[in-house]
Amino acid sequence: MITLVGAGRIGGALARAAGARRLPHHVVRRDAGWDALREGTGPVLVTVRNDDLDAVVARVPEARRDDLVFIQNGMLRDWQAAAGLSHATRGLLFFAVPSRGAPIEVGGPSPFTGPHAAAVVEFMTAIEVPAEVVDAAAFARVELEKLVWNAAFGLLCERFEASVGTLVEAHADVTTALCGELLDVGARKLGLPLDAAAREGMIARLLAYSRSIAGYRGAVKEWPWRNGWFVAAADAIGVATPCHTALLAATGHAP
């Protein structure tokens, strides 16, 4: 049985989808359901916001922490290491839930890696959400690509007061430059090989994804997990990021 921690947009949508198909599941809410974690087994899918992760982990019995599955956007690796959870199962969701109570809008396959990856993919498939098991190296590449999209396009949407589709068409040069800059920093910090062809392919996918959801308009948020991580990473490896730095200053987000 799968356990869902959090009943917000994502957790609620997954629970409703499981309920509609009569799949066994348990929902842990802020004020209810925690006791069941002491005796249960199977994946514990954590669907809360990044800033709530510490509080959630603190309430999970030690014996169940190996069952945790993290699906948050942003760079979780440093937090996982500090929390002693580097071995935990990770996933990236490629579907949307526009508002609380709305149904799942399916996108591409959601990748999962780690001890409970296969069980989570089985659950996702059962609720008709595409998902796949990938190895750690493949997950890291997708993780970086999605992180760059969130950080770059959120910042650019603020700077130009435009949707992601408009950015790709009307501000292509700065969009491409920022994506490339962040990819270079992220790949070096994570120790990922990134030759010219791979870099070009990633940028092309980032732009293509933005065209596919042209009306979406992002913003800078979850600073320590997104843009702030790139600032710290660039400082740590001694790499200048003039495009990112200038855009942060122009939008009032300079560290």
| Mean pLDDT, range 32-48, rounded to an integer | 91
pLDDT at 254 exceeding the cut of 90: no
Q: Is the pLDDT of residue 41 over 90?
A: no
- 242: pLDDT strictly greater than 90: yes
157 pLDDT more than 90: yes
Average pLDDT over residues 28-49: 92
pLDDT confidence of residue 215: 87
Q: Which residues of 25-45 are buried (b: 16+ CB within 10 A; e: fewer)?
A: bbbbeeeeeeeebeebebbbb
Give the pLDDT confidence of 94-140 residue by residue, as tens digits: 888 878 898 888 888 999 999 999 999 999 999 999 999 999 999 99
Indicate the pairing of strand 95-96 with strand 44-46. unpaired
- Work out the mean pLDDT of the chain and round it to a whole number: 95
Residues forming beta bridges with residue 27, ordered by sequence position: 4
Cβ within 8 Å of residue 156, ≥6 positions away: 162, 164, 167, 171, 174, 175, 178, 247
- Residue scoring higher pLDDT (100 or 232): 232
Structure tokens at 148: 């760059």
DSSP assignment letter at 74: S
- For helices 136-160 and 242-250, give the axis angle rounded to 10 degrees: 40
Return the pLDDT at 196.
95
List of domains in the chain: 2-134 (3.40.50.720), 137-250 (1.10.1040.10)
pLDDT for 200-225, tens place per residue? 999 999 999 899 888 889 999 999 99
Cα–Cα dist 68/129, whole Å: 20
